[in-house]
Structure 1
Amino acid sequence: MLVEVLRVFSVVERHADRVWRLWQEQGCGQREIGRWLGISSDSVRRVVGPAGGIAPEPRRRSRWEVTLAEREEISRGVAAEVSLRQIARQLDRDVSVISREVERNGGKEAYRAQEAEQAAWDRARRPKTAKLAANPELAQVVTQRLQQRWAPQQIAATLREQYPDAPEMQVSHETIYRSLFVQAKGTLKGELTQYLRRKRRLRRPRAATARAASQPTGRGQIPDRVPLSQRPAEAADRAVPGHWEGDLILGSHGSAVATLAERHSRFVMVLALPQGKSAAAVRDALSEHIPRLPRLLHESLSTQHVWKSLTWDQGKEMSQHAQFTIDTGVPVYFCPPGQPWMRGTNENTNGLVRDYLPKGTDLRAHTQTDLDHIATQLNTRPRHTLNWMTPSQALAQALGVATTP
């Protein structure tokens, strides 16, 4: 048994650098890395698991530190009974540096270059106390905001604004992730990862996302659809509010809700579909909710102020778009098939909403009041892309009104 354990650790040590290179730079998964290196996925997991998928910082020697080559010269000089002062001159070092090096490694009688080198690395292992472990008040604030489903980036940015003169109450988003994922730094309870948008216990590098190819799917034909290329140019640069993107989120038993995201402010609406996801049901639900928002924002606003266009994908639930436009005055534009990134604001919004409406659940259990509560949480959460304003604040500012719901 002991022999097998030692063999496994030997494999892990031998391949650790290549595992991290494939994980970080190429974005390969654990099984794929195992196949590339000819080792088991368990061996790969023993490398990336304890570190939470975050590659450890490579150890670096200080430029003032005595090098292995210099230690070998010292060892040879000591063995030849050369004085420490002469050895220092040969190495262009101060004699006090050489003297301390010899004394801390057993003196002239016991000094050996390899042993001194290893001892230097061992002495350099001085792990700092994690910031969140040293500051319970800060850890409590971070925990509370994670439980409110704030992203680590949002927490870090708002702490900088909230405590500008108290660096002890500031923390980087990377430190938060490390405290959640890295076993050696586990200052935050691992259960808090359930509140992150991504529920995985390993941080995946950006290279992994870049490798994921989008697979287009056929969605049928929509009569008289207007292509995205005809959408007003002002919508593309997000400078003007009122241009929206929409989609459905699907649940079990044929249930669904509609999501709408405003491109300029990222303001979110989540709409119940109690009558199902047919084209008529979706048209009626959208037509009913479109006039609600201007009235909620400010009494002076009209539908035309807030709703200038709606962009949808190729889903046939929007096949009655022409009647919807007649009913509301809002034109609908359609993305090319298989190109969801052209509705990136709504795609990102759906990911946020999924935190509250997990896949495989029956969405009919959620009333419109429930969905409004979800939207309110998202609209009052600061966003990096808005320079840490909330979507509510950004939409109110863009429309020139004082407050938003």
Structure 2
Amino acid sequence: MPGGRLTGEDRRYIAEGLSEGLGYAEIGRRLGRPASTVMREVTRNGGPEAYGADRAERATRERARRIRQDPPRRPRPAEPDGGHGRDPREVEDFAESFTTLLEQQGVPRMAARVLVGLYVTDSGALTATELVQRLRVSPASVSHAVAFLEAQGMIRRERTAGARRERYVIDDEIWLRSTLAAVQMNAVLAAASRRGAEVLGATTPAGARFGTSAEFLLLMGETLQEVMERWRQGRRPTGSADTAAHDAPDTAAGGGSSGSAAGG
């Protein structure tokens, strides 16, 4: 029934819907369930391409068995910004499904978990210790994940006046900075592709392939630059956006750093 646990028949219907190319919303409508329920079920069990009803059923039973056998865990630290009347279980389910989506885009799992941990926190800022407690992982795991996310321009460090510990911060411009990193990498790849065309010969099949790649990458970079400019013009300027605008390289000339957007 709607709102209850998915049955084996529900899972077979989801698998059939995916094979027909139906979206989560349409499958959910036919099942009488929210699209978010269908999305969580699919992302937990291999994604749209690998989802199978029988395998999902076995995996669900195995997860339930582990929950029954695992010893009680310490309660998760309270949300520092207040709960705002949210359902903690629903928030946790959403965080898990969003983490899986980031993984499917190529983000390492621990980096995805750290990013989502910051994302769902109203303050958008946590210390390394708070991340360790929330995610129940080692400090080294958090450190490696943070280094990856910093390299992608997706989080930044911040030290509050008078505080001894640094906080890792995420804000509304996470995708702006990530896109800027992608633009910079596109410029580097475009320059390398042009060089490849020269080395291999622009009239040869291999050289032409590199030449075409360079044209596409340059066009993509120009388009993303236009999108970022429209975004900045449509929002009230902030310090981080101004910084991104001033620090943006002349991508058309092939400049830029070696950073890349997550999953790019």
TM-score (norm 2): 0.24
Q: Return the index of the structure with the highest Cα Rg.
A: 1
If each structure's helix is expressed as a fraction of its own residues, which one has the higher value?
A: 2
Q: Give the TM-score normalised by the residue count of structure 1.
A: 0.17
